[in-house]
């Protein structure tokens, strides 16, 4: 499980850092802003998880490998965007697809990883706590990213975003009873990403009440 979780953490860190860097670039932030947004998106969920579970200082601060990875990935994303920015139409399409997929993979891996951390630290008894902390670890980085980008967090609007994290958390907890943690983690990852991809493709949306804009 240890190597599994290491790989998961790396995938999630890279994916979320790209997602944060691209949002920062789109917002016109400078190089440092892009690096910080990559960092915050990648480690933010884990930092919130560590703070609310009392595991301080957060692992992201004491063990700076993931922070360094996130910063390096954001720097690479900045350079690539810098190179290809002349071909706007290609950039834009590529951008949307990369953002979407990386976001989904990060969401899925961090949800499972958050649950695993709490299981190791506080035990396996309280399912509500496990699901809460798993979902917070999954969506926390993205929520911080969107707050810093001064937009309503996409978790509250996008096609079944947090829903995918919640389903992923539940399916991991259910599956590990029967097939062990490794397989359960892979299953949960596939389910979460699949929900996101299908929701994006078929434009699944949760119900929403149209509110007149001019009442604001």
Q: Which residues bind its own copies (CB under 8 A)?
A: 24-33, 36-37, 47, 51-54, 56-58, 61-62, 64, 67, 78, 81-82, 85, 88, 92, 122, 126, 128-129, 132-133, 143, 147-153, 155-157, 160-163, 205-212, 215-216
Q: CB 123 → its own copies: shortest distance, Å?
A: 11
Q: Are 32 and 46 in contact (CB under 8 A)?
A: no
CB of 131 or CB of 184, closer to its own copies: 131
DSSP per-residue codes, 43-54: HHHHHHHHHHTT
Q: Which residues of 83-121 are buried (b: 16+ CB within 10 A; e: fewer)?
A: eeeeeeeebeeebeebbbbbbbbbbbbbbbbbbbbbbee
Q: CB 151 → its own copies: shortest distance, Å?
A: 6
CB of 78 or CB of 172, closer to its own copies: 78
CB of 126 or CB of 183, closer to its own copies: 126
How many other C-beta atoms lie within 10 A of the C-beta of residue 137? 32
CB of 5 or CB of 139, closer to its own copies: 139
Q: How far apart are CA 129 and CA 204, in angstroms?
A: 28
CB of 156 or CB of 183, closer to its own copies: 156
Q: Are 12 and 105 in contact (CB under 8 A)?
A: yes
CB of 30 or CB of 174, closer to its own copies: 30
Q: How far apart are CA 180 and CA 21, in angstroms?
A: 35
Q: CB 75 → its own copies: shortest distance, Å?
A: 11
Q: CB 127 → its own copies: shortest distance, Å?
A: 9
Q: CB 185 → its own copies: shortest distance, Å?
A: 22
Q: CB 186 → its own copies: shortest distance, Å?
A: 25
Output the CA angle 44-191-8, nearest 5 degrees. 45
Q: Are 20 and 75 in contact (CB under 8 A)?
A: no
């Amino acid at each position: 499980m240890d190597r599994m979780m290491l790989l998961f953490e790396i995938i999630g860190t890279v994916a979320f850092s790209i997602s944060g860097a691209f949002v920062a670039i789109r917002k016109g932030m400078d190089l440092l802003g892009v690096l910080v947004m990559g960092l915050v998106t990648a480690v933010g969920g884990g930092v919130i998880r560590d703070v609310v579970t009392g595991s301080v200082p957060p692992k992201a601060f004491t063990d700076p490998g993931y922070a360094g990875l996130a910063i390096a990935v954001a720097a690479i994303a900045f350079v690539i965007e810098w190179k290809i920015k002349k071909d706007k139409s290609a950039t834009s399409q590529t951008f949307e697809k990369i953002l979407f997929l990386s976001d989904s993979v990060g969401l899925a891996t961090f949800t499972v990883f958050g649950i695993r951390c709490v299981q190791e630290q506080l035990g396996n008894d309280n399912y509500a706590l496990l699901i809460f902390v798993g979902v917070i670890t999954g969506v926390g980085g993205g929520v911080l990213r969107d707050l810093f980008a001064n937009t309503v967090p996409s978790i509250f609007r996008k096609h079944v975003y947090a829903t995918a994290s919640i389903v992923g958390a539940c399916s991991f907890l259910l599956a590990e009873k029967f097939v062990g943690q490794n397989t359960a983690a892979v299953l949960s990852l596939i389910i979460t990403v699949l929900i996101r991809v299908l929701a994006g493709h078929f434009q699944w949306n949760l119900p929403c009440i149209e509110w007149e804009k001019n009442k604001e």
